[in-house]
Amino acid sequence: MALPAVGAVAGIATLGARYHLSQIYGPTLRYTGQAGTMALTFDDGPNPAATLTLLDLLEKHGARATFFVIGNYVSRAPEIVREIAARGHVVGNHTENHPSLLWLPPGRIAQELRRCDEAIAAASAAGANSARRWLRPPYGSRGPQLEHVRRAAGIDAVVMWSLTCFDWNPQPKEKLIARLGRARWNLSGKCGGDIVLLHDGWSKQWAANKDYLIGALEHWLPRWADAGVKFVTVDQITTKL
């Protein structure tokens, strides 16, 4: 009888480490907390093949977003991170090298967060638009050791998501358009709108092509704007941790 019980506990622990809405290893932001709002978040940049085009598109439709950047990519293209901040978007920490944090010891996690912070700081006031500090763990994976490291590093919160369109791999834009059609910006009640997980880059390939993502957002951004959606950064989220 003990083995099935152990297996069940292990299964719950693993699910809690990977499931994007789980709170088992510490509180996270998952919704905006405001009906009529949506928080667009972009991981794995900066990307010289896509991020600047994306910034132009967001500006065209009056949308502000949050960019969770990879430290070693920031070091390759600090000018893009400066442009992200200059256009009023928020910059967050997505670690230095994009490892899964699930099994990393605390010291290694702290090193990943610190080096990413240092890269952002070296990109000349790239974080100036954020009054707080945010973390998006790679793959959404986190273990019980992360909460202590986060607090010690002075990071205010882990930001997860309530909607993803699985856009890290190349695919027809029509698939992303269909998945983004599930966005819950118009919900009433405590959940409010979605935090949407998107990727302006790809951790496995520098300067990855993201035309399919740009195409999907060219479809949805004007439609969301016409419907009265208010785009918020994570700094503006009202959900209580």
pTM, full prediction:
0.89
Q: What pLDDT is stored for residue 199 in this prediction?
A: 98
Q: Which residues are catalytic?
A: 43, 199
Question: Is the N-terminal amide bond of 46 cis, ω within 30° of 0?
Answer: yes
Per-residue pLDDT of the chain (241 residues; tens, 9 = 90+): 444 433 333 334 444 455 666 678 888 999 998 889 999 999 999 999 999 999 999 999 999 999 999 999 999 999 999 999 999 999 999 999 999 999 999 999 999 999 999 999 999 755 555 657 999 999 999 999 999 999 999 999 999 999 999 999 899 999 999 999 998 876 554 456 999 999 999 999 999 999 999 999 999 999 999 988 999 999 999 776 6
Cα distances (angstroms) measured from residue 199 to each of 6, 104, 153, 212: 36, 23, 25, 11
Alpha helices, DSSP H, located in 87-172: 106-122, 146-152
Cα distances (angstroms) measured from residue 8 to each of 13, 52, 106, 114: 9, 46, 26, 35
